[in-house]
Structures are given as structure tokens and as C-alpha cells.
Structure 1
Amino acid sequence: MLPFVKKAPTFILFVLLFIGSIQTAKSNKPPFKVIAFYTAKNDKAHISYVHEANKWFALMAPRHNFTYDSTANWANLNADFLSHYQVVLFLDTRPEAPEQRKVFEHYMANGGAWMGFHFAGFALTPSAYPQNWDWYHNEFLGSGAYASNTWRPTSAVLRVEDRKHPATKHVPVTFKSSPNEWYRWTNDLRTNPAITILLSIDSTSFPLGTGPKPHEIWHSGYYPVVWTNKNYRMLYVNMGHNDIDYDHKTDKELSFTFGNEVQDKLILDGLRWLGNGKQ
């Protein structure tokens, strides 16, 4: 028998042990920690989304190596509390107190990570959420104030604008979203060099919305729905508005945000990118 034949089993064993050690190292990687802030008041569609999101993220956490906590106490938006988390989520609103805003700006400027959904980007003057935080709406998000929306919540065909980003490189060029109320903004994100648009509404979606008001149905235009700011570790996701049976006053949930395989993957890949600590 040739010498190398006798040595083959030992070599194979070495390879298997090496592969096993790599897999063990991956499985032993410490999970990153996520904290979600929410308000969940007033709008039933936003309340529905927040409850859904809290259940979904808690379910996904052990499967994707992160921990998930949530709080409706915005006073927790302080330096000591945030020091325990690598990623902050705003599920439906933004901080209102000046000291909380200052803490969040400092957190993001010093390497913190953030993902915001739907109403977290809303600002309209006059309203309960006026545009009174220039850093957040103009510098950080870049979108400025809310300008208009579609109605009712409707699925859209979304187009990937940047296939190199970790959040989008595993999703198809176009896909159908979960139903959502889509926002239009006062600022054109395409003119902001700090903003990278990841997803926009594909033209095949038009007309988008059912009304009944004519301006709630979009027939043309360019509408970014997911983007990031190159100066921060952040993702804004416009999805996060479930459909509710307002017409018959039953308040029954008619649609959900999660459960869409491609959209879920986008959110999870984006979250993992934020949680790995790299810009």
C-alpha cells in the first residue's frame, strides 16, 4: 500500500476538526443587543404594527444571534441605558424631550447604530410631531418633513437601487412588499451626497393607493422607501403601517408588515449589518 493512502484518514480528520472549530467559533460569537423604543398610542395601524414588531423581533432574535428588548419609556433614552445596546430601533415615533434628543445625537455620532420604521420619520408643522429637530430630519434622515402619503395601505413593487449594500445584496432586483401607507418627503434624497437610496417604488406599482381622495393615489414619481446615511450606521425603512378596518369600525387588522419572506430578509440583513459594528 502506498504511504499517502495510510495518511489519508488522518488528513481528513484534521480537515473535519478544522471545519468544526470554525463553526464553533461562529456559534460562540457574542450576540449583539437591540433595544426598541415605541409609543404605540393614537393610531390603531401604528399600534398594530408595534405589537407585531415586538413579537416578530423577539422571535427572530435567538435564530439570528441577537437579543431583543423593547420599552415605551423614552426616559430610557439616556447614555447609561444605551451603553448596554449596539442597535437602537424607533418602531413608531421619535424622542421629544431635548435631553433625549441630545443623547441620541451623541450615541449616533459615536458609533451607535439605528433602524427606524415608517412614522419614526414623520414630521409635519403644525401637528403633534412638528419639524422641530433639524439634525434628525434634515441631516440624519435627510428627508425633511412629511409631504403626503398614499391611502389605503397597499402593496408596492419595490426596486433595489444599490445591490452592493449588505441589506439588499440577497434580495431580488424587484419584489412585492407587504401592504403599507407610503410617504412622500419635502426633500429630494437623490440630491443629498450623504444618502444612499437602497429601495424605491418601482414604476410598475402605479397607480399606487386606492383613495378615495385623488391625491392619495400616486400615478407617477420617484419615491425612496429604504435608505442609509453614509455618515452614520443607520437604516430608515418606510414600512410599518398595517391596514385596519376603519370603514366598518371593527378595528380588525386587515394586513401585517412581517411574514413577507423577501421583506423580512431585507430587515434582518439590515439589522445584522448594523449589529456587526462596521460602518
Structure 2
Amino acid sequence: MSKKYILLVLFSICFLGFSQSKKANSKFKVIAFYTAKNDQAHISFVHEANKWFPKIAEENHFVYDSTSNWDNLNAKFLAQYQVVLFLDTRPETPSQHEAFQKYMEKGGAWIGFHFSAFALNDSDYPQNWNWYHNAFLGSGEYGSNTWRPTSAVLRVENQDPITKNLPKTFSSQPNEWYRWENDLRKNPDIKILLAIDESSFPLGTGPKAHEIWHNGYYPVVWTNKNYKMLYINMGHNDIDYEHGTNKTLSYTFENKAQNQLIINALLLFGNSKK
């Protein structure tokens, strides 16, 4: 047996041992579902997320997987994971709806971004899932949004492990901000964590007048006390639509405070027992 062969075998054993040890030492597993087909801003965010989360997973010793196959939203597949992410859209079929609801009711955890909460009748994403939009998210239908994507000053509304080490107010990355049908302040199950601070107004640049907000109360991050869940309105990168380049002009994960919020939630949810 040659020395070269022996060295190769020893290297393989060491490498495999390291990989198995690394996997064995992982605290929990995260699965991200995405579509990444509609709206360049959402596609850009998904690509950015699928680069950022693996780095965070390595630093914090958990496993991050992602899939665009929403049929994986079934009991057998979900049983492998402690945290589910919806990066851009939501599940659409009755069987997927049922699997996700049961997963959450049995103690699973979820973090949803931006468009994952969108629902508007007479659109491609109608409000046809009452449990998700009303009982779970509490927001109901989409109401309106600001344009174009702009930074906002966000204010911590309630102290929570998820807001640990966040400043009382901070400036966000540029985002398209959503308004909702339901007033989340009136829902006893909802705990609002971040809202737009009044110093942000006017928020948006138009050109349409209704795309610029001058006043009002707008929650952007919240949790439902009955579940291990977090909704984050951020997730819409600024894109150069006007010149036809579709170039990404801003990145969601280039913000220390926003990132801390997400990491706090991941570690809280991932390390908690069902």
C-alpha cells in the first residue's frame, strides 16, 4: 500500500469525522421555503437570504436548508426541522395549509418575511386562509404600501427576548412598508415588537400620493403569543426598475439591528423545546 494512498485514507477519515462531528454538534435545523419567481425585489431578497443564513448558521451552530418545493410542506418533512421560514410567499394548497397549521399547533416555530403575509382578494393571492391571516398573523388582508422602498426609523414597542440588545429606535434598510386591514393593537394575542416611529414621516416618495404616509400607526414586526412565530415586514430590496437594469440598489441584511432581531428569534425558537 503506497504512502500516498494511506495519506488519502487518513485525510478522508479526518474530514468525514469533522463533518459528522459538526453535524452532531448542530443545535437545531431551519428550513426556508421560497418561490423567487415574482417581483425582482423579492427574488433579490431570496438570493440574499440564501447567502446570509448559511453564514449565520455556521456562526451559531445550526443547520440551514432551503427549498422551492412547497410540496415539502408535509408532516414527514417538517418533522426534521425546529424552525420554518417563509422568505417570500406562502403555501397555497389545502394539504400544505393543513400541514403547516398542525406543525405550528404542535409546537413548531416560524419566521415569515414581507410578502409571506400578503393576501388580497381578487389578486393572485386571495385571502382564502382564515387561520393563517386572521388567527395566526392577525393582520387580515393587505391594505396598502409605501413606494418607493425607503428607510424608516423603527421603534421598539415591547421588550421581549427577540428585541434583546436592540436600540430603542434605529434606522432600517430601505423597504416597501405594508399597511393591514386589522388593527393589531386590538388583538390580545398579538404582541407588537417594532412599529414605524413618527419621525419617519413622510414615508415614501411616490409618485402616487397614497404611496406616501404622513401619519398613522404601522406595526412592522410582531409575534402571536399562542405560537412560536415572528412576522417581519422587511424583505423587499430596492431595485432599479426605472432604467430597466433590475439592479439591486439596497440589501436587507446590511443592517446590524435588523440582523440581531432575526438572530435572536432564530436562537430563541430553535433552542426551545416543543
* Equivalent residues in 2 for 1:52-91, closer than 5 Å: 52-91=48-87
Give the letter for the 1:213 counterpart.
K
Deviation at 1:49, TM superposition (A): 0.3
Matches of 1:30 and 1:40, distance apart in 2: 28
2:36 pairs with one of 40, 52, 62: 40
Which residue number in structure 2 is paired with residue 111 of structure 1? 107
Is 1:176 aligned to 2:167, yes or no? no
Is 1:133 aligned to 2:119, yes or no? no
* Structure 1 residue ranges (4+ consecutive) displaced by more than 6 angstroms after TM superposition: none
Is 1:226 aligned to 2:221, yes or no? yes
Give the match's secondary structure for 1:105: helix
Give the letter for the 2:195 counterpart.
S
Deviation at 1:89, TM superposition (A): 0.1
Matches of 1:42 and 1:231, distance apart in 2: 32
- TM-score, structure 1 normalization: 0.88
1:193 pairs with one of 188, 192, 195: 188
Deviation at 1:29, TM superposition (A): 5.9
Matches of 1:56 and 1:29, distance apart in 2: 21
1:245 pairs with one of 240, 248, 252: 240
Give the letter for the 1:273 counterpart.
L
| Structure 1 residues 194-230: Cα deviation after superposition (integer angstroms, max 9, x where no partner) | 0000000000000000000000000000000000000
Matches of 1:146 and 1:112, distance apart in 2: 25
Give the match's secondary structure for 1:167: helix
| Structure 1 residues 68-96: Cα deviation after superposition (integer angstroms, max 9, x where no partner) | 00000000001110000000000000000
Matches of 1:89 and 1:137, distance apart in 2: 16
Deviation at 1:169, TM superposition (A): 2.0
Deviation at 1:158, TM superposition (A): 0.2
Root-mean-square deviation (Å): 1.1
Which residue number in structure 2 is paired with residue 12 of structure 1? none
Matches of 2:26 and 2:145, distance apart in 1: 41
Which residue number in structure 1 is paired with residue 259 of structure 2? 264
| Structure 1 residues 27-46: Cα deviation after superposition (integer angstroms, max 9, x where no partner) | x8642100000000120000
Bigger Rg, which one: 1
Structure 1: any 5+ residue segments left out of the alignment?
A: 1-27
Deviation at 1:112, TM superposition (A): 0.3
Give the letter for the 2:154 counterpart.
L
Structure 2: any 5+ residue segments left out of the alignment?
A: 1-23
Is 1:151 aligned to 2:147, yes or no? yes
Give aligned pairs, total: 251
Aligned-residue identity in percent: 70
Give the match's secondary structure for 1:196: strand
Which residue number in structure 2 is paired with residue 211 of structure 1? 206
| Structure 1 residues 39-66: Cα deviation after superposition (integer angstroms, max 9, x where no partner) | 0012000000000001100111010121
| Structure 1 residues 237-275: Cα deviation after superposition (integer angstroms, max 9, x where no partner) | 000000110111111111110011111111111111111
Give the match's secondary structure for 2:89: coil
Give the match's secondary structure for 2:162: coil
Deviation at 1:141, TM superposition (A): 0.1
